[in-house]
A = this chain, B = another copy of it.
Amino acid sequence: MSERKWVYTFHEVEEAEEHVGGDWNEVRALLGGKGANLAEMTRIGIPVPPGFTVTTEACNAYLAAGDKFPENMWEQELEALKATEEETGKVFGDPKNPLLLSCRSGAVQSMPGMMDTVLNIGLNDVTVEGMAELTQNKHFAYDSYRRLIQMFGGVVLGIPDEAFEDVLDEYKEEKGVALDNELDAEDLKKLAAEFKAIVKEHKGFDFPDDPFEQLRMATDAVFGSWNVKRAIDYRNAAGIPHDLGTAVNVMTMVFGNMGQTSGTGVAFTRNPSTGEKKLWGEYLLNAQGEDVVAGIRNVAEIQHLAGDMPEVYEEFSGIAERLEKHYREVQDVEFTVERGKLWMLQTRNGKRTAKAAVTIAVDLANEGLISKEEAVSRVAPGQVDTLLHPQFVLEAKQEAQKAGKRFATGVNASPGAAVGRVYFDAATAESKAKDEGQDVIMVRPFTKPDDVSGMLAAQGVLTSEGGATSHAAVVARQFGIPCVVGASAMKINLEKKQLTANGITVKEGDYISVDGTSGEAFVGEIESIAPTLEEQTELLELLGWADEISAAEGIRDVPEGWPTRGLQVWANADYPDDARRARTYGAQGIGLCRTEHMFFEAERLPIVQKMILAETSEERTAALDKLLPYQRDDFDGLFEAMTGLPVIVRLIDPPLHEFMPDEHELLEAVIENRLKDAVEEDKEALLVSVQAMHESNPMMGLRGVRLSVVMPEIVSMQVRAIFEAAADVKLRGFDPHPEVMIPLTGHINELHFIQPKLEEIAAEVMEEKGVEFAYKFGTMIEIPRAGLTADQIAETAEFFSFGTNDLTQFTFGYSRDDAERNFLVKYVEEGILPENPFQTIDRDGVGSLMDITVKKGRSARVELEVGICGEHGGDPSSIEWCHLIGLNYVSCSPFRVPVARLAAAQAAMEHRG
């Protein structure tokens, strides 16, 4: 067996391709995203400092062996180092002409800031002098040296940053300077000596003088950092598998801090907030990369580089354009200029806001760089959701401004409006949000990887430091959390848990409002509104493409007679306004109109209660006769709004006691009355009635079709109202398509009992009105038994609609009302459930039952219309499952329709049959 190759120089991208069989994704898996791109840039002639990559395979071998380098790896690393020495003409550890290296992690998927980096490897008390000589810049040499010791001490040896920072701060104070680079060479030399003493003090051994030992330990630390807690947490949050491992990229150091002809910067080839096609980024002269990323010093816009270094800027612009064309995607690049020479240190696909993602995808497609299908596949459905997130009501915000409630402005790092209570640390923010269900805004001077869990639980993030590429900004954009950074007017007192800014003090737990779109922060709660879709032309264009993809016939490889196109997206809407919005958002039907909401309106509820308490069928019918016109009016508007499209109306579903006064409150009132000898007969009687309706487990009680079997008068009224309304609408020249849905069916005989009675009413009404139109009768599938006997049920039902909320309840035996509080949160935390099954369809259990249902149902009625109207209908993973099992449509809230349209198209592309 030939020797395993663990290390590839940046010139060996072909060898890497050969090793994995030519697949670029596999090259990325092997070399990590950063390493693969460094090699790829080298291949296409872009200036990259020489270096090499130790593979993820090596990392996994290292982890599997219990943190030991695999055989020959180190030897190969030394060989690659030799090649780098030859390319650069420098020698690692040479006192005169020392080669310095950076050592960075590079996972397959970028995990910003979470893996460890060490710069200036190769410096020691001897080589630092050589470096000073060589560069004629002692200040630079010793600054690099003290940085090495500090970073090495921190990330390789695990010494707290404060240990070094405190000494640095003392020095600066002593010297009366504000910035690190105001210290002189001698200061820095002393500082390096002190830093080495700190290492000795903390670790009990000396800082390693041997450059090779430095490299070995750094490589080891990068590998080890794959499994530190914050990396695991991030992967959990981002859904990245834990077995990928990280590569190690070792690269010749180039220096942006060698005076005013040097500099460093980061940039996006297009604006990552808006998607605008214009270079977007920032740089610093005479600085190293971490100064930019950390957001500590004030940076300049990338365009200013054209003034500072015109040739470099031109070269850089050209490289940016080449990279975008090469990768057919917006690039996020890092560069350094060393004494006028441009070096590209990294390129990767740029993270972006939802808005930018849509704009860029549509622009790239329209520019011909990618296809429409690729454009549709490049926007995550969750991103579209953020575009429909609320924004502050303009007047409300203006009023808050006038009232002096704006306490800070900063960088508009991630758009959207957020309102919540302030917490100053991740742990509190997370627990307040998760345990108490509070809306939370996390406020920090700046954020670090440790803060991610708190950010993910927050509605919004506000920092006093950092810029648009700071940690807080990058993470917030990725997860769609409204975020303002660098609001420098804020003085944050972490001890007292309060901030002051512009004379306003905000304490822990106070409400603030953060506008991530404008970069403002306000005390108090500001009203927000949902944005209108109509303004978002790129999104409309993208969703149009998505619909075309979904509507294409022949997408699915399904049994004869099943739908072969992708999913339609319908909406759940109870009122005409909802229906109109749903139509605007692209809904192709109403999948669920809940009629009982109509019962709760103030003028109707007393009639409803009278109907419920009726002792004879006549009394009940009399009350229902009064409700009929109300219901008819509701349906009239709905059918008109949805002319030409199907509208599924669900007959009454909840148990009747939901329409009655609360039993507990009534009981307390009655007992009080009794003890006061102030008995109210009406209340006593009402209590008896309400108690008689009490159920131990109402979720499994007298509701849905069961209610209709016991008390058919209500649904008789409802069906009459539906058909009278449809007839009226038809007579006015519209095209109604009513579909009557019977809820909670568990046994075919329930439909046998009630459906003929209702169909008779439908026929009666059409005869009375002298008009005909198509209609359907069908049922929800919410009861496991209905799914298990779907072949029987489909003989009578013309359509199925999965009520996955209830179906999940019964299939799991979880009561939604109680489960979250009692055990479900713990179940998700402990990983007992991979996700909350009420949010994402549990494919193994509920999903497999759905699959059985569709197959059985269509075995009895091949043209059976099957959809889903539970809350899962707007969840991308659940939508994918609906596509996989052959549903006709998903139905979700109007606001989720755009998300669902995109998710449906992506599912169709992903699983083309």
Query: Whose C-beta in chain B lies nearest to the C-beta of A830?
Result: B753
A32 close to chain B: CB less than 8 A: no
8 A Cβ contacts from A802-820 to B: 806, 809-815, 817-819
Instruction: Give every chain B residue within 8 A of A706 (Cβ-Cβ).
Output: 822-823
Contact digits for A807-846, partner B, Cβ 8 Å, 1 yes 0 no: 0011111110111001100110011110000000010111
Q: Are A784 and B702 touching (Cβ within 8 A)?
A: no
Chain A contact residues (Cβ within 8 angstroms of B): what range?
35 or more
Interface string of A688-728 (1 = CB under 8 A from B): 00000001111111100010011000000000000000000
Q: In the assembled complex, how far is the CB of residue A255 from the closest CB belonging to chain B, in whole angstroms?
A: 52
> In angstroms, how far is the closest chain B Cβ from the Cβ of A391?
36
Counting CB contacts under 8 A, is A167 at the interface? Answer: no
B709 touches A826 (CB 8 A): yes
Q: Is A172 an interface residue (CB 8 A)?
A: no
B-side contacts of A710, CB under 8 Å: 822-823, 826
A845 touches B785 (CB 8 A): yes
Least distance between A486 CB and chain B CB atoms (Å): 43
Residues of B within 8 A of A695 (CB): 815, 817-818, 822
> Measured between C-beta atoms, what is the minimum distance from A784 to chain B in Å?
4
B668, B747, B817: the one within 8 Å of A696 (CB): B817
Contact A749 B672 (CB under 8 A): no
Q: For A786, give the chain B residue with the smallest CB separation.
A: B845
A701 & B812 in contact (Cβ 8 Å cutoff): no
Residues of B within 8 A of A94 (CB): none
Interface string of A551-579 (1 = CB under 8 A from B): 00000000000000000000000000000
Asked if B753 contacts A813 (CB within 8 A), the reply is: no
Contacting pair B845 A789 (CB below 8 A): yes
B residues near A813, Cβ cutoff 8 Å? 699-700, 744, 746, 782-785, 806, 810
Given contact pairs A667-B667, A810-B810, A697 touches B818 in the complex (Cβ within 8 A): yes
Contact between A812 and B753, CB atoms less than 8 A apart? no
A699:B700 contact, CB within 8 angstroms: yes
Contacts of A827 in B (CB 8 A): 709
Q: Which B residue's beta carbon lies closest to that of A692?
A: B821
A813 CA to B698 CA, complexed, in Å: 10
- A709/B832 contact (C-beta < 8 A), A697-B818, A702-B818 known: yes
Within the assembled complex, what's the spacing in Å between the Cα atoms of A530 and B788?
41
Q: What 1/0 flags go to A123-151 for Cβ under 8 Å of B?
A: 00000000000000000000000000000
What are the interface flags for A865-903 relative to B under an 8 Å C-beta threshold, 1 for contact and 0 otherwise? 000000000000000000000000000000000000000
A750: interface (CB < 8 Å): yes
Which of chain B's residues have a CB closer than 8 A to the CB of A668? Answer: 667, 671
Closest chain B CB from A665 CB (angstroms): 11
- Give Cα distance in the complex from A405 to B806, angstroms: 57
In whole angstroms, how far apart are the Cα atoms of A777 and B783 in the complex? Answer: 30
A812: which B residues are within 8 A, CB to CB? Answer: 746-747, 783-785
Interface of A is mostly: helix
B709 near A788 with CB under 8 A, answer: no
Query: Which B residues are in CB contact (< 8 Å) with A701?
Result: 815, 818-819, 822
Interface status of A597 (Cβ within 8 A of chain B): no
Instruction: Give the Cβ gap from A692 to chain B, nearest Cβ, in Å.
Output: 10
- B667, A753: Cβ atoms under 8 Å? no
What's the least CB distance linking A354 to chain B, in Å?
33
Report B-chain residues with C-beta under 8 Å of the C-beta of A832. 709, 747, 749-750, 752-753
Q: Is A345 an interface residue (CB 8 A)?
A: no
In the complex, whether A848 has a CB less than 8 A from a CB of chain B is yes
A844 to chain B, nearest CB (A): 5
Does residue A792 face the partner (Cβ distance < 8 Å to B)?
yes
Contact indicator B709/A830 (Cβ below 8 Å): yes
At the interface, yes or no: A758 with Cβ under 8 Å from chain B? Answer: no
| Complex contacts, A696 vs chain B, CB 8 Å | 698-699, 815, 817-818
CB distance from A237 to the nearest CB of B (A): 20
Q: Does A402 contact B (CB under 8 A)?
A: no
Does A849 make an interface contact (CB < 8 A)? yes
Cα separation A301 to B812 with both chains bound (whole Å): 65
- In the complex the two chains form, is B789's CB within 8 Å of A844's CB? yes
Cβ contacts under 8 Å, A811 to chain B: 783-785, 788, 810
Q: Which chain A residues in 257-281 approach chain B with CB under 8 Å? A: none
Q: Which of A676-696 contact B (CB under 8 A)?
A: 676, 695-696
- Residue A675 CB within 8 A of the other chain: yes
Chain B residues closer than 8 Å to A697, beta-carbon distance: 697-700, 815, 817-818
User: Which residues of B lie under 8 Å from residue A831 when comparing CB positions?
Assistant: 749
Quick one: which of A459-511 are within 8 Å of B by CB?
Answer: none
| A809 and B700 contact, CB distance less than 8 A | yes
Residue of B nearest to A697 (CB): B815
Which residues on B sit within 8 Å (CB–CB) of A822?
695, 701-702, 706, 710
Beyond A700-B809, A710-B822, list 14 extra A-B contacts (CB 8 Å): A667-B667, A667-B668, A675-B675, A695-B822, A696-B699, A697-B699, A700-B814, A701-B819, A709-B823, A783-B811, A784-B813, A785-B845, A789-B844, A810-B810
The 10 A-B residue pairs with the shortest CB-CB distance in the complex, in nearest-first order? A697-B815, A785-B845, A700-B815, A696-B817, A749-B832, A702-B822, A695-B818, A784-B784, A697-B697, A783-B813
Pull 8 A–B residue pairs with CB atoms less than 8 Å apart, ordered by A: A671-B672, A700-B818, A701-B815, A706-B823, A709-B832, A753-B832, A783-B813, A784-B849
